[in-house]
């Protein structure tokens, strides 16, 4: 006896047990697929964002690794270049006057000005200012001379045995008789008055460098100590 065919429209959802076996198996498979899909979405949907973030992190780490690898490959040549630069710097510093040579150097500068005919109305050295690896010596001065004399003075200072570095600060150069002769500044033989401050420099010896480093370290430690806030006292007033 053949089984009577049943259409989907004739199936009653409330009496699944009376459905033909084929439809029951299909319905169970559909329910299983829905459950599996919900489980996959609940369990793995947020993992996609995590995976994407990890992939981006991997890309960043690979780029950083390649960059660091390139730096590491050039580290040794850079160290050698730095050592050469430090050696050249020390050689250049050694060409500057030392602490014991500074008094004679200042005297030589003053004598060079007098030798060129310049009149020193003021030549007053100021206390030194110590820097990291050098010291600067300000000199307040007022000089009277001509263009040619000032040119000879600069040339004479440049020809001193030691390397002399001089920087000028707040310098004024005016004709001596500017109020009487407005054209005095245009005449090469007219007297000029130079006033201001020049700074000359010397290198620090090893002991002075050590003292500077110690002073810097003490200042840094004191600053860090001052930044630390004291802890509030526990408990309230009785």
Beta bridge partners of 141: 123, 196
Q: Is the pLDDT of residue 145 over 80?
A: yes
Find the mean pLDDT for residues 106-122. 91
Residue 144 has a pLDDT of 92
Read off the pLDDT of residues 179-216 as tens digits, 9 standing for 90 and up. Answer: 565 555 555 557 888 899 989 888 887 788 787 778 77
User: Would you call 84 helix, strand, or coil by DSSP?
Assistant: helix
Residues composing the chain? 238
Q: What is the pLDDT of residue 238?
A: 37
pTM (two decimals): 0.52
Question: Which residues make Cβ contacts (< 8 Å) with residue 162, sequence separation at least 6?
Answer: 95, 96, 97, 101, 105
Share of the chain above pLDDT 90, in %: 11
């Amino acid at each position: 006896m053949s089984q009577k065919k049943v259409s989907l429209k004739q199936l009653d959802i409330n009496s699944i047990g009376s459905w033909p076996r084929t439809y029951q198996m299909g319905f169970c498979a559909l329910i299983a697929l829905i459950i599996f899909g919900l489980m996959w979405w609940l369990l793995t949907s947020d993992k996609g964002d995590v995976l994407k973030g990890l992939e981006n992190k991997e890309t960043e780490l690979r780029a950083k690794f390649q960059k660091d690898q390139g730096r590491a490959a050039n580290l040794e040549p850079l160290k050698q270049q730095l050592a050469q630069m430090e050696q050249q710097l020390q050689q250049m510093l050694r060409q500057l006057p030392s602490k014991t040579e500074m008094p004679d150097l200042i005297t030589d500068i003053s004598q060079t000005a007098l030798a060129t005919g310049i009149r020193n109305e003021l030549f007053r050295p100021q206390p030194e200012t110590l820097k990291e690896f050098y010291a600067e010596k300000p000199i307040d001065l007022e000089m009277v001379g001509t263009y040619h004399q000032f040119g000879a003075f600069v040339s004479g200072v440049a020809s001193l045995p030691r390397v002399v570095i001089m920087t000028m600060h707040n310098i004024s150069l005016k004709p001596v008789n500017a109020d009487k002769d407005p054209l005095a500044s245009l005449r090469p033989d007219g007297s000029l008055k130079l006033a201001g401050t020049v700074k000359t420099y010397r290198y620090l010896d090893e002991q002075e460098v050590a003292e500077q480093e110690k002073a810097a370290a003490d200042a840094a430690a004191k600053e860090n100590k001052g930044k630390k806030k004291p802890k509030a006292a526990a408990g309230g007033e009785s």
